[in-house]
Structure 1
């Protein structure tokens, strides 16, 4: 597979994954409504840094370790707990009306870009299916990429990350533009149900991981 083919197929596969509902998309909806159009790109920047680190780790030979059922199961349990915490916090703040659509004051993006970057990495790491994707489909792509050298790996990563930045940036743009048409009650309901979704998803991750760990 040539460099352009690696880039193009990675872009298409990346879009198929980015467009699926999940914890990062849910967090993107929440933060874009609260902080505006740059929330999505900042979240994905954290996600991208984590993916680059993971690619290096896999290339160094640690892919089999991550694929181990006990390792992936432990990641799943810890990730599920993290997602449930994120979800509970979102739902609680919405229920207590501690957040608002205003970008003024404590919700200003300028005050916490670093937190968004960190949260983008944490939520990705908390998703066990993210690491499983990388040690299966991702590892296969990396193997093909290495046949054409370092440029092949760069082309694969460029296509994959471009899909993430494009989709999440697009979602952030739409939500930021539509904020003026959303009232406070509707906003709180959106955030509340996003929080409930994360709690449920976290619980599912924990359940699936317990099965992999063969605890029950």
Structure 2
């Protein structure tokens, strides 16, 4: 069980700090709203990954061509991330008052995670393989892997949200605008990366043609 605990911690920490739409959204929501909004985004995988795990395991067992579905999911995710990039560009100043309308950060995080191919790819490959081996050993090993993975995955993003939240008070309007534009640039790059991944998975783009 200890070995699966270590594997879960290692993969969770790596995934938690890995650049991607969800990590960028944690920073963006914390800056635009507050630390609680960033933490809500960080908690999104706990909610969205369960159906992803079930879906990927079911589809992988039923369908021979899983890449087309991943391709469509990736392109949809690219569109959503591109819209978030536009919202970041529109940011004008550090919010000083509490908004009357909730920022819906958790929903944004769930959508970003669900529309990204990365959770599917992880559970379709690495996660499914590790879970299979863990279940062969005993149920405790599987629980240890899942618990340690999500504790570190969510925990690392929560820590990041808290650090960004503390630095927010030192930001003036100009710095905030530049940071939001930088985040928008990163989100745009991630959106096009998702588009590229989607076209690759759909077979529309073939890297061999560029060689």
Question: Normalising to structure 2: TM-score of the pair?
Answer: 0.87
**How far has the Cα of 1:66 moved from its partner?**
9.4
User: Structure 1 residue 58: deviation in Å?
Assistant: 4.0
Aligned pair 1:100/2:94, yes or no?
A: yes
Distance 1:143 1:183 in 2: 51
Aligned partners of 1:124, 1:140: CA distance in 2, in Å?
21
Alignment partner, residue 90 of structure 1: 88
Q: RMSD value over aligned CA atoms?
A: 2.1
Inter-CA distance 58–129: structure 2 relative to 1 (3 Å threshold): closer
Does 2:160 correspond to 1:167?
A: no
Give, in whole Å, the separation in 1 of the partners of 2:42 and 2:137.
Answer: 27
1:19 and 2:12 matched:
no
Give the distance between the partners of 1:180 and 1:62, measured in 2 at CA: 47
- Give CA deviations for 1:15-37 in whole Å, capped at 9, x if unaligned: 11211111111111111122222
Contact 2:59 2:66 in 1 (8 A): no
* Offset of residue 10 of structure 1: 0.5
Q: Secondary structure at the match of 1:112?
A: coil
1:62 has 2:23 as partner: no
- Pick the structure with more helix per residue: 1
Do 1:67 and 1:132's aligned partners in 2 also have CA atoms closer than 8 Å? no
Give the Å deviation of 1:185.
1.0
C-alpha distance in 2 between matches for 1:31 and 1:5: 35
User: Any unmatched runs of 5+ in structure 1?
Assistant: none
Measured at CA, do residues 66 and 168 of structure 1 come closer, stay the same or move farther in structure 2, by a change above 3 Å?
A: farther
Aligned length: 204
Cα deviation digits, residues 143-176 of structure 1 (max 9, x gap): 1221234433322111111112221111111111
Partner of 2:133: 144
Query: 1:207 is matched with which residue?
Result: 196
**Distance across 1 between alignment mates of 2:146 and 2:105:** 22
Counterpart CA distance in 2 for 1:124 and 1:12 is 20
Kept in 2: contact 1:67–1:135 (CA 8 A): no
CA contact (8 A) 1:24 1:123 kept: yes
Residue correspondence of structure 1 range 178-193 to structure 2 within 5 A: 178-193=167-182
1:72 alignment partner in structure 2: 70
